[in-house]
Structure 1
Amino acid sequence: MTKSEQNNIFEKWLSQHKALLFKVVRAYAVTVMDQDDLFQEIIIQVWHSIPTFRQQSSNTTWMYRIALNTAIKWVGKERKHTESQETLDNVQAILQETLIQVDERLTWLYEEIHKFDGIDRSITLLLLDGFSYKEMATILGISESNVGVKISRIKKQLITKSKQQDYHGIR
């Protein structure tokens, strides 16, 4: 594969699946700086992996797998730096002007997803994106029945926590 062919594939896939990658990034990285770092790491991994893509799955499934695996590894490496970065991130958040109206329910959902361990986070994102149990099992390397059990537990946990939430007086 030539670099030109690799570039064309990369640009096409990135334009088609950027939203998918951002979902993974947002679920695994909290701060804007961390999200930028993780996104860059994921696209680097996608770029390097293009020549090894064998079309045994869809390019969406393949990119999701790369994104999730990269995010899980990134979290492990970044965990030791979290405490030292927190102060700077708080200052950055204060200095940034919020221009986008944020849906509190969506913010809450991402906060809850961020609390899950790597596999539960991954399953939640895949579920929200409409992947079948079989596709999830393939991407994550676990059985379909394990996916089903985990989804059931995740749903119960989120339902319980959502009943405790109060959005401006609305339950």
Structure 2
Amino acid sequence: MQEYTEKIFLELINNNKAIIYKVSKMYMDDAEDRRDLFQEIVMQLWKAYPGFKGNSKFTTWMYRVALNTALLFLKKETRKVDKTPLNENIDLADVNYSYDKEEKLAYLYKAVQELNSIEKALIFLFLENQSHKEIAQNLGITEVNARVKLSRTKEKLQFIIKKNGYEF
């Protein structure tokens, strides 16, 4: 039974690893920190998996665990903010996009690094095409609160992008 459970879990993780990658990228700027967070999220998903009852979609449950793990990871670790200018090399070798898209994505991630943890979660879930209701459920807030916070966060992100000259 354990082997069967492990096989199903690994399939689910493999099919949805992009979620973990995106959360890691959203919360950690440094490649090594991203790998550490990625591993921490997988470990926490494995620990929590026996409690997954299937009352929601696996991906919804996965978002919640991944985001909570990222928030706790940030609290546990003392992180030094990377002040590397954007014109220096940014490691995006693991993203298979054209250079232009790659550059725009790098700017977005750099701008997102200036948001607080909750704002990062809001933007991440928004970029994952989650509805306001789903965002509210994942973050444990009301739908109205999710809508207001997301609107304010998008405005803040837009300001950061303009302030840093990232506009595209």
TM norm structure 2? 0.83
> Residues 13-162 of structure 1: matches in 2 within 5 Å?
13-78=12-77, 80-82=78-80, 101=99, 103-162=102-161
* Percent identical: 36
Q: Whole-Å Cα distance in 2 between the matches of residues 49 and 119 of structure 1? A: 22
**Bigger-Rg structure (1/2):** 1
Q: Whole-Å Cα distance in 2 between the matches of residues 162 and 36 of structure 1? A: 26
Q: Is the 8 A contact 1:72 1:118 kept in 2?
A: yes
Write 1 or 2 for the structure with the bigger share of helix.
1
**Comparing 155-164 with 4-13, which one deviates more in the overlay?**
155-164
Query: Any gaps of 5 or more consecutive residues in structure 2?
Result: 83-87
Q: Whole-Å Cα distance in 2 between the matches of residues 133 and 20 of structure 1? A: 18
Cα–Cα, structure 1 residues 9 and 130, in superposed 2: closer, same or farther, change >3 Å? same
Deviation at 1:82, TM superposition (A): 3.1
Query: Any gaps of 5 or more consecutive residues in structure 1?
Result: 87-92
Q: Whole-Å Cα distance in 2 between the matches of residues 99 and 20 of structure 1? A: 15
Q: Whole-Å Cα distance in 2 between the matches of residues 15 and 48 of structure 1? A: 16
TM norm structure 1? 0.82
Cα–Cα, structure 1 residues 99 and 6, in superposed 2: closer, same or farther, change >3 Å? closer
User: Matched residue pairs, number?
Assistant: 159
